[in-house]
Amino acid sequence: MKFFRELEPDIHLGVGALETEQDGRDWVAEYDALLARGRAMVVIVREGDRPQPGAGKPMVLWMKARKAELGRLVAATVFIFEDEAERQAMELALPGRAKASPYPMVLATSEADALDKARQRLQTAGTAGAMA
């Protein structure tokens, strides 16, 4: 995969620059492949890995179309913000962003912190699934 690297089972790190519309379509295809597995998962994203406008359009349309599936299978997206000021700004923006998101969004200070939080979210998702 070009845009996702599995760090641990069902924990994926978003990688690669999303610059063009083709990048956005490729990202969508890869994310579809992850969802097709039908298992709870967590995606970790670094603070600087925001898609450029060209890549964003197919991604946004895809996310709107897959909202229910994303809500069911994505235990969380964990955003790594090593810079404290950036993290605080995101903390302030998070409640508004959470309203539009079908899955929980979590902030982390490092990749190690993100992995810990991802493991916790997967464990919680597994427990919830077992109870359902």
126 beta partners: none
What are the residue ranges in the chain where pLDDT is below 70?
A: 127-132
- Contact by Cβ (8 Å): 102, 67: yes
Burial 35-50 (b: 16+ CB within 10 A, else e): beeeebbbbbbbeebe
- Give how many domains the chain has, as a whole number: 1
The encoded tokens of residue 17 equal: 């620059």
Range of the domain at 35: 4-131
Q: What is the pLDDT of residue 130?
A: 46
